[in-house]
Amino acid sequence: MNIVIDMNLSPQWVGVLQDAGHDAVHWSTIGDPGASDHVILQWAAAHNHVIFTHDLDFGALLAVTEAAAPSVIQVRAQDVLPSCLGPTVVAALRQFRDHLDRGVLITIDAARARARLLPLRSA
């Protein structure tokens, strides 16, 4: 799986995700560090990458645009360092692997991981 790590997460995540068998890259090495979330979303969709972020705006963008891609993994925790969340994120990647290929918003917090298939639509 190809994963692009957002600027609000440490580049340390690259090694953790690569060790788990994923192709991971931090946005700072491939794009403008000041790029908008919309630009990153478009890049990820065009390059078949999942976005890994601590930013809730990506979920809002997916909902507003009713986009079917890219998949987004958002962490909602105080400590977002790999030393704290690494095993939880890797487990969620395994758990939702098939969904990530089809388009999904995954939210990970201290208690659980949950997924909503894309496109997001209000009821």
Residue 49 lies in a domain: yes
Average pLDDT, the chain: 95
| pLDDT computed for residue 121 by the predictor | 77
| pLDDT computed for residue 110 by the predictor | 78
Residue 29 lies in a domain: yes
Residue 24 lies in a domain: yes
Long-range contacts of 26-31 (CB under 8 A, 24+ apart): 30/4
CATH number, position 57: 3.40.50
pLDDT tens-place string over residues 55-93: 999 999 999 999 999 999 999 999 999 999 999 999 999
Residue 122 lies in a domain: no
Residue 123 lies in a domain: no
Domain hosting residue 111, numbered range: 2-117
User: Residues 6 or more apart from 95 whose CB is under 8 A from it?
Assistant: 113
Residue 98 lies in a domain: yes
| Length of the chain in terms of residues written | 123
Residue 31 phi, psi dihedral angles, 5° rounding: -145, 175
- The span from the CA of 5 to the CA of 95, in Å, is 19
Residue 109 lies in a domain: yes
Predicted confidence band at 122 (pLDDT cuts at 50, 70, 90)? low
Which pTM does this prediction carry? Answer: 0.96
Residue 48 lies in a domain: yes
Q: How many domains does the chain have?
A: 1
Amino acid letter, residue 98: D
Does the structure show a pLDDT above 70 at 101? yes
Q: What is the mean pLDDT of residues 18-33?
A: 97
Pairing of strands 2-5, 23-26: parallel
